[in-house]
Amino acid sequence: MHIAYFVSGWPLSARASGIVTYIDIMKRELELMGHEVSILCGEVNPEACDANVHKVEDERFGSLWDRLAERLSRTPDRAVYAYGRSIAKAAASIHARKPIDVFEIEESFGWSRDLQALNAFPVVVRLHGPTFLVQGRLVGADDSVDHKIEREGAALKKTRIITAPSRCTLDETLARYALHPAVAQTIPNPYVVPETEPSGHSTKTAVNELLFVGRLDLVKGADWLLQTFALLAKRHPDLRLTFAGPDVGIPDADGQILKFAPYVQAHFDEGVRNRIQFLGQQTPDQIRALRARRTVTLVTSRWENQPYVALEAMAQRCPVVAFAAGGVGEVVQHERNGLSAPPGDVAELARQVERLLVDADLRDQLAEEGFRYVSDVHNPKRVAEAMLGIYQTAKTP
């Protein structure tokens, strides 16, 4: 079978994200099974280009008419929606040389609609982060967010087959847009458990180090994270937090976007600030090394689908404490393979972290259960086989 995927950037080493991780693992697993996989991407490291990796050239608004339409249009971000036509053109070119059996794409911007308009091959949409669930929950979302939500819904209404890694994401999306696709199925994201664990990790030592991996922004709950740490820091004078992720920024009360340094300066005292190590963006290898030396990984997002940051920590036997937001609660199962708190309840999250700081047996139990959970439920071969079943169904008229 020839399976094509679209992803915003490639390869994983240069563009780490949950979607890129998912497609990277699926590509390798499907190729091991003898299938051909084509990757269409918006940005690509030239060294990663080969016969099956294709950069989608941005041909938006090349004609005079398109430029005039863009100038007259009141549609927010009209250009980014038109990029779907570029994806469709690239897919059609590949299909002409080597017929595509199935094309899988995320729901973003409703780009799937342009692929479906080709009528050349079946299109499967995988829900990675519908806008109404991610940005739609933030205070102050503007018209461009509303338009994106509308566009994604319109495209999904034309989609026969929809999958999602978490049950809550699938159910909420079907309900939001009153969708009735031919197939709607939950299939977890795959994850490759490392054969060897980086040296240095022990649930019985280094009980004063916490780790957060993610963007400094509201979606990832960086404000909640820092508030939680401030509570813990008052009661645990040796506790430290390592923050690894891009410095996107958090809006202050007046709407000004504050980066890490000015944000913590404005909101936390020196005793808290001096115990936070902000590293910025790190490579996957650097993050694995960090996790091997930290007691707990924190996940504080306002919403997540099926966060790889939790799966990666579990695979390294690093206990996870998280807000049970969106699909997080399906992964981090309270007192079974991790600990959780209601979204935004920083006092309760701090209490759950403290349980691990003082209880080595609980850390060991959760570390082992988390490892077993990821190894079983997110096994790449099992996930690839399940997705192949979806792709076979998609080929049936």
What's the CATH code of the domain at 275? 3.40.50.2000
| Any domain includes 76 | yes
CA distances 225 to 272, 275, 297, 305, 367, Å, are: 12, 14, 11, 19, 21
H-state helical runs in the chain: 18-32, 64-72, 78-97, 112-118, 131-134, 143-156, 167-177, 222-235, 260-267, 270-273, 284-291, 308-315, 328-331, 346-358, 360-377, 380-395
What's residue 119's pLDDT?
Answer: 96
360 and 386 assigned to the same domain? no
Q: What is the pLDDT of residue 194?
A: 82
Same domain, 335 and 390: no
Tokens of 20: 């890129």
3-class DSSP state of 378: coil
Q: From its phi and psi, is residue 137 left (phi > 0), alpha (psi between -120 and 50) or beta? A: alpha
Distances (CA, A) of 177 to 106, 150, 181, 284: 16, 9, 11, 36
| Residue 266 lies inside a defined structural domain of this protein | yes
Residue 260 lies in a domain: yes
In a domain? residue 18: yes
Q: Domain range for residue 116?
A: 2-190+379-395
- Give the contacts of 113 (CB within 8 A, at least 6 positions apart): 84, 154, 155, 158
* Residues 6 or more apart whose Cβ sits within 8 Å of residue 82: 60, 61, 66
At 4 the three-state DSSP class reads strand
- Whether 80 is in a domain gets the answer yes
Judgement on whether residues 157 and 224 belong to the same structural domain of the protein: no
Residue 13 per-residue DSSP state: T
Gyration radius of the chain's alpha carbons: 22
Q: Compute the distance between CA of residue 72 and CA of residue 291 in angstroms, rounded to an integer.
A: 51
Ramachandran angles phi, psi of 168, nearest 5°:
-65, -40
- Sequential DSSP letters for 206-272: -TTEEEEES-SSTTTTHHHHHHHHHHHHHH-TT-EEEEES----EE-TTS-EE-HHHHHHHHS-HHH
Same domain for 57 and 186, yes or no, is yes
**Count of domains for the chain:** 2
Cis before 188? omega within 30: no
Chain centroid offset of residue 337 CA: 20
Q: Are residues 256 and 345 in the same domain?
A: yes
Alpha-carbon dihedral of residues 387, 390, 395, 397, nearest 10 degrees? -170
pLDDT number for residue 74 = 45
Note whether 311 and 180 are same-domain residues.
no
233 and 340 housed in the same domain:
yes
pTM for the model: 0.90
**Same domain for 358 and 322:** yes
Where do we find the tokens 């937001």? 325
Give residue 16's pLDDT.
76
Clarify whether residues 238 and 371 are in a common domain.
yes
DSSP state of 300: -
Per-residue model confidence as pLDDT tens for the chain (397 residues)? 999 999 999 988 777 789 999 999 999 999 999 999 999 998 888 776 678 999 998 865 454 444 444 444 445 466 788 899 999 999 999 999 999 999 999 999 999 999 999 999 999 999 999 999 998 766 555 678 888 999 999 999 999 999 999 999 999 999 999 999 999 999 999 999 987 654 444 544 457 999 999 999 999 999 999 999 999 999 999 999 999 999 999 998 888 999 999 999 999 999 999 999 999 999 888 999 999 988 999 999 999 999 999 999 999 999 999 999 999 999 999 999 999 999 999 999 999 999 999 999 999 999 999 999 999 999 999 999 999 999 999 998 7
Which SS3 state, helix, strand or coil, does residue 283 take?
Answer: coil
**Beta strands 250-251; 257-258: pairing state:** antiparallel
- Residues 124, 237: one domain? no
pLDDT of residue 196: 61
- 216 with 154, same domain? no
Residue 138's φ and ψ, nearest 5 degrees, are -85, 140
Residues 238 and 346 in one domain: yes
363-to-32, 59, 320, 342, 370 alpha-carbon distances in Å: 36, 52, 9, 21, 10
Instruction: Look up residue 130 and give its DSSP letter.
Output: -
Asked whether residue 196 is assigned to any structural domain, the reply reads no
Q: Judge whether 289 lies within some domain.
A: yes
258 inside domain: yes
